[in-house]
Every structure is written in structure tokens, then in C-alpha cells.
Structure 1
Amino acid sequence: MKRTDFAAYLNKYFTDYLPNTCGSTPQTIDSYRHSFILFLTYMQDEYQISADRVDISDLTYENIVSYLSWLKEIRSNGVSTRNQRQAALNSFIRFLMYEFPEHLHEYQRILGIPVKKTPQKEISYLKTEGVALLISQVDLNRQNGLRDYVILSLLYTTGIRVSELIQIRVKDLSLQEPFTLLVHGKGQKSRYIPLMRSTIPFIQKYLVQKRYDRPERLDEWLFKNHMSKSFTRQGINYIVGKYTKMAREIAPDMIPADFSPHKMRHTTAMGLVESGVDLIYIRDLLGHESIKTTEVYARADAMHKRQAIEAASKEIVPPEEAEWDKNSNLKDWLKNFNRR
């Protein structure tokens, strides 16, 4: 069967454009791949057009709008997931704009489809005493206790992502002053971040314990699971969850049940904001591409301060009697309200 233009250009998009032209990471490519699997499923379910018969001409404004609605109504995708699927399609459309300029008007309509706004969630994080309680649950004398302690300490003191933590190799550590860690972040962007002096003795002891202090082992993963392989996200989630459960048995009000490695990252950021550290520095430490991403922590801090001030003011501000309680004519009150 002859391949359609869609199949041919989708292959070129994934095998050449994304990895070579855009420099996309394997994680991004895999996410986009899944998005197109869903789009092909949609074309089959809604129009009975099989994957090998989908054509470039099927990429219309109406079809894309309908597909995005299908994700919500049939697949029950949330706003964030729906936006990720839309981003994958938009990326492909931008690629096609140079290949099929005759469809430029249609492609511009597709790219003009608004992205749904996601509701701003309140940031969940631990106070300093909560972090101390969590990390204190690690028994350094037990097998892998030192490893777990270093993992939790690095997550808290550096604010790195789980994906960055599991990619650390022994050679990425610099334990000579100034102590630093080379982190391989999103979009194949690397950055150096400082290590807390208090963590250095534990890291050094861990390197000796695992015999990573030998030159021939510099290329090995810093953290390995029970199969002597690089940790997965699930493995790190399990470790954090294990100590979260133990800490909650002591102080359930201090540690949320759903505490996760990403919330440890929030904890690091909020601690820095509350300490008055400049947002530019926090952005660079966390590896945010834009300062706008970092500003969410400043807004959260301002909200918490406002709530604290409002709670305190309730005790010193006398209750105010509403003027309309004395005025039976609500319309007259409204007419005079805020008049200068």
C-alpha cells in the first residue's frame, strides 16, 4: 500500500526534524509520539479513516478543534494533558508550513486555536521542621540508609527534578571548594549548582561506601537501585513515599500524605523565597527557562503573608456594621455608594 503524504512527513518529522533540527529530548519525542497515536485513534473512531489512510488534507481547523474536544469528552483528559496534545500538533503544523505553503492559511487557523487556561493550584510544600522530621527518619546504619539520606538531602538542598537526580554520574560531583554539582536539565541544558557544605561529608562517605572514589568509576550512575541500574522516577517516588509514611506516623499534620519529590522541589523554592533570595538566582538554581515560572513561588509567598496579616487583623479591627442595615432602601444606598 502506498504511503500517504501524512505518513511520509510524520516519519520525517519524528526521525529528522525533532531530534536534529529542534534538538528535542527523547522524553519530548516520546510524549509527541503518544499524542499522534491518540490523533490517529480519533480519526479511526470518528471518521473511520485508518492510520494508513490519514492524509495531510485531513489536518483542518475543524478536525483539530473536534479532536481537542474528543480528548476532553471521550478520553476525559484534563486541561494540562489536552494542552500537551495541542502542543504536539502545533509543532507538526509548524514543520508542515515549510513543506506545504499552499495550506498556510489553514495552518495559521490551527495555530490560532487558543490554549486552555489551567487553574492555578496552591503550592504544597513543607516547612523547615517538616523537612527535618522527614529526613530524620532515615537510619544511616541500615543497608542503603546512607544512599537514601544523600538522595533526600540533594533533593532538598538543590531543588533538582527527579529526572535530573537519576541522571547524575559520579563525575558530575565536584567536592573541592566551591562544592558544585553538574545537573543535566530539560532540553539538554546543563547547569552548575552549589552544594551545601553540610551535605559534603555524607556524600564523601557515600562515595567511599560504594567505592565510587575510584577513577575508573567516574562514569557510573551516582544512585543505583537494587538491580544495580539507574533509578527510575518510580524508584525515587518509592523512597520519598517510604519516609513520608514514617514521618506522618509521628506528625500527620506536618507532613501531607501525598508528599512527593516534586513537592520537595517546591519546598526548596519556597524556602529560598521566604529567605529573601532573588528570583533570578532561584530561576537559575531550579533550571527554569523563564522567570515567569519562578514568579509563582513569589505570588504564593505573598498570598501566605497576606493571609497571615488578615488573620492577625481580625483580632484588632472592631467589627463594622454595614450601612445598609440602617437603611431600608437598598437602591438609595447603592446610588450613594462610593460617590465623591
Structure 2
Amino acid sequence: MWGRSVQSAIRRYLEHLQNNQHASVHTLQAYKTDLQQFLVVITTQAGGAFAPQELSEAIVRSYSEWLQTQGYRPATISRKFAALRSFLHYLNELGFQVLPEVAETLNAPHEPRKLPRMLDRAELNRLLEAPGSSHSPGHLRDAAILALLYESGFRATELVELRLADVELSQARIQHPSNELESVAIPETIRAIQAYLQDGRPHLVRNPQEVFLFLNQRGKGLTRQGLWLVVKRWAAAAGI
């Protein structure tokens, strides 16, 4: 029956995750909690135990609706469904013959994406001025990044792809990373970039052959995640 046999299967599944998949303690605890919750909810709703092969789309849908009434965020529901989907596949391996399409219907609702809020002029000025007048390599780099993001309109993926050779100091322009035939005028940013190239980047670079314009503390090209952290840091400093 569903109650006892699946309880045993859950234990075997967690052992499988630990011994064969080398799951972390955190992952094991999260999966255990999610699977135990699923077991309790559906047996309560069904008014008793039933066999694993009787698990249907209607039961899964009922569990999904219950989760949403509990105020869980879509990301949390998605995690719970991931645990359940993996477990159902494991049940099949144990010979319980749970229909594959049941597991494939476990789709959590999408979390609505929030539209980015436009900064007003005062907030923008505070952000651009946040790195201050420090001449540390990191501050010089960040000041150039913030100014360039504002003036050029480059996307994050485009900015981190910029190369040293893309900068035209004498013309106060920079090559567009997505269009070899286009360069962008940056008269307001060129001084910040020049300061970074003169007093910032030389202290960050480790390999003289490094081609990327903006470098992290290890001397490598800045990643999108690294760029996001830069903006987040100075936005917080500016009180945004």
C-alpha cells in the first residue's frame, strides 16, 4: 500500500541520493521534508492509503493546488516538484510502474518577472557618484563600469565582452561588442575609462596577454555575475 511501501521507498531513495549521487546534507534534508509532506498531504486528501501505480495527474494537481493555498512561492513549489519528479522516476526503477507522464506533468507556476524600475535623476547621480574619488583599482574600475553602462546603453552581456582593443581613447568612442561596424560615442565616460586604464587595470591584470577590458580581482575578465555584484554594491551604497 501507498503509505508504508512508499515510506520505505523514500528511505531507500534518500540513501540512493547520499551513497550514489553524493547529495549534500542540505539537499537530503530538503528532499526528505518535501517528500514526507507530499505523502502526508495526499494520504490525508485521499482518506487512506493507496498503491503507487494509482498516483494520477488529478492527485498531483490537487497537491499543487494545496501548495499554492499555503502561500509558497513558485520557486519553492518548483523545488518540491523537482524532488517529487525525481522520486517518481526512482519508484519506476523499483518496479512500482508509476506512469511516466504523471511525473512530466509536475510543472510549478511561473513566478512573475518584475519589470525593472527606472531610476530618477537624483538616484542616478547618487549611483554614478557612489564609488567616490578613491584611486583604488576596484573603485576606478567600478566608476568606469557605472558610467559606461549609463552612457552607452550596453547590456550586461555586452559590457563584460568588451576588449581592451575596443576602446578608442583619442576618439572618445568604444567599439560596439555586438556590431563590428559600429562604435559608440562616450564623451562623458572616457575620462573614467582612461583613469581605470592608467591606474586601475594595471594593478588587476595578471597575464599581460589578457584581452578583456574589465577585470576581476583575480585578473580575469569580469563575468555577468561579477558585474551584477558591482552594480548591487554601489546601488546599496547609494541607498537605492
**TM-score scaled to structure 1, two decimals?**
0.39
Q: What letter is aligned with 1:237?
A: K
Q: Which residue of structure 1 lines up, in the alignment, with residue 207 of structure 2?
A: 215
RMSD over aligned Cα atoms = 5.4
**1:147 maps onto 2:136 in alignment:** no
Decide whether the 8 Å contact of 2:91 with 2:98 is kept in 1.
yes
Report matched runs for 1:1-340 at 5 Å.
Answer: 5-7=12-14, 9-10=16-17, 37-44=29-36, 68=64, 72=68, 76-78=71-73, 80-86=74-80, 88-89=82-83, 92=86, 96=90, 99=93, 103-105=97-99, 107-113=100-106, 115-116=108-109, 118=111, 121=114, 123-126=116-119, 129=121, 132-138=124-130, 140-144=132-136, 145-153=139-147, 155-156=149-150, 157-160=153-156, 173-177=162-166, 179=175, 196-198=184-186, 199=189, 202-210=192-200, 211-212=203-204, 215-216=207-208, 218=210, 222-224=215-217, 236-243=231-238, 245=239, 259=240
Shift of 1:83: 4.3
1:215 is paired with a residue whose SS is coil
Structure 1 pair 95–153 and aligned structure 2 pair: CA distance change class (3 A)? farther
Match of 2:171 in 1: none
| CA deviation map 1:188-221 (0-9, x unaligned) | xxxx9x9855246533531432324563483998
Opposite residue 198 of structure 2, the aligned amino acid is V
Q: 3-state SS of the aligned residue for 2:97?
A: helix
Which deviations, in whole Å up to 9, do the C-alpha atoms of 1:217-250 show, x marking residues without a partner?
A: 839982449xxxx96966752321212x3xxxxx
Contact 1:224–1:231 (8 Å) recurs in 2: no
Shift of 1:149: 1.4
**Matched residue SS, 2:118:** coil
The answer (yes or no) to whether the contact 2:142–2:230 under 8 Å persists in 1 is: no
| Contact in 2 for aligned 1:150/1:202 (Cα 8 Å) | yes
In structure 1, list runs of 5 or more residues that go unmatched.
16-28, 49-56, 183-191, 246-258, 260-340
Structure 1 residues 137 and 37, CA gap change in structure 2 (3 angstroms): same
Against the structure 1 CA distance between its residues 72 and 218, is the aligned structure 2 distance closer, same or farther, given a 3 Å change threshold? same
Question: Matched residue of 2:14: which SS?
Answer: helix
Q: Tell me, yes or no, if the aligned pair for 1:147 and 1:206 is still in contact at 8 Å.
A: yes
Q: Which amino acid in 2 is paired with 1:85?
A: R
Distance in 2, matches of 1:239 and 1:224, equals 17
Q: Contact between 1:42 and 1:67, CA under 8 Å: does it hold in 2? A: no
Contact 2:14 2:32 in 1 (8 A): no
The normalised TM-score by structure 2 is: 0.50
Structure 1 position 82, deviation (Å): 3.3
Report if the CA contact (8 A) 1:150-1:203 is conserved.
yes
Structure 2 unpaired stretches of 5+: 1-9, 41-51, 167-173, 219-224
